A and B are shown apart, each in its own frame.
Chain A
Amino acid sequence: MKRYTFIGTVILILIWVVVSKLGLIDTFFLPDPFTVIKKLIELLTSGIIIGDILSTLIRVLLAFVIALVIGLPIGLLLGSKEKLYKSFEFVIDFFRSTPATALFPLFLLVFGITDTSKIAIAAFASALIIIFNTAHGVIHSKKSRVLAAQIMGATKTQVFRWILFWESLPQTFIGLRSAVSLSLVVIVVTEMFIGTPSGLGRKIIDAQITYEIPTMYAVIILTGIIGYLLNLFFILIEKRFLHWSGK
Chain B
Amino acid sequence: MGTAISVHGLKKSFNNTEVFTDFSVVIEQNKITAIFGPNGSGKSTLLNILSGVTLKDDGEYHIKDYSKFQFSYIFQNYRESLLPWRTNFENVALPLQIQKKGKEEIKQRVEELQKIFEFKFDWNKYPYELSGGQQQILAFMRALVTNPKVLFIDEPFSALDYENNLLLREHLQRYYLAFKPTILLITHNIEEAVHLAEKIVIFSKKPTKVIETIDNPLPYPRTVQSLKDESFHKVKDEVLSVFQKAANV
A interface residues, Cβ below 8 angstroms from B:
142, 144-145, 147-149, 151-155, 158, 162-163, 166, 169, 242-244, 247
Contact = CB atoms under 8 A, between A and B. Distances in A.
Interface string B74-110: 0101001101110000000011011100000000000
A154 to B, nearest CB: 5
26 contacts: A142-B80, A144-B75, A144-B77, A145-B80, A145-B83, A147-B53, A147-B75, A148-B73, A148-B75, A148-B81, A151-B51, A151-B52, A151-B53, A151-B71, A151-B73, A152-B72, A152-B94, A153-B68, A153-B69, A158-B98, A162-B97, A163-B83, A169-B85, A242-B85, A244-B128, A247-B126
Interface residues of B, number: 23
Contacts of A243: 126
Contacts of A145: 80-81, 83
B53 A244 contact: no
Contacts, number: 55
Interface string B144-180: 0010000000000000000000000000000000000
A247 B94 contact: no
Given A148-B75, A162-B83, A163-B83, 7 more contacts: A144-B77, A144-B81, A145-B83, A147-B75, A151-B73, A153-B98, A243-B126
Main secondary structure of the interface of A (DSSP, over half): helix
B81 A147 contact: yes
Contacts of B51: 151
B98 A149 contact: yes
Nearest to A244: B84
Given A145-B80, A148-B81, A151-B51, A247 B98 contact: no
Contact of B126 (A151, A163, A244): A244
A97 B95 CA distance: 43
Nearest to A147: B53
Identify which of A144, A151, A163, A247 gathers the most chain B CB atoms within 10 Å of its CB: A151
Given A144-B75, A145-B80, A244-B84, A152 B53 contact: no
Interface in B23-81: 51-53, 68-69, 71-73, 75, 77, 80-81
B233 to A, nearest CB: 37
A148 to B, nearest CB: 4
B94 A162 contact: yes
Contacts of A142: 80
A241 to B, nearest CB: 9
B44 to A, nearest CB: 13
